[in-house]
Amino acid sequence: MKLLNGGVGMIFEKVRAIICDQLELDEDVVTLDAVLLEDLGADSIDLADLVMTLEDEFDMEISDEELENYDYRRTSFRYC
């Protein structure tokens, strides 16, 4: 699989590693087109854990409003 060039590809690799670790998945399952709930089997607790880990890893805060508007059932990483 060819990943995006430059910084975006590096960010995806880091996010993929976090997701693989937390959801105990193989890297080949976590693709840019994977949907967290449908394809990766994440549940609401997994999502909350992922958000907290991503906030810590990237030193950022994801607002409650952003989380409420994000459709985890339909959106793949490609559209994040």
Which active-site residues does the annotation give?
43
DSSP state of 79: G
Can you spell out the DSSP letters for 8-37? HHHHHHHHHHHHHHHHT--GGG--TT-BTT
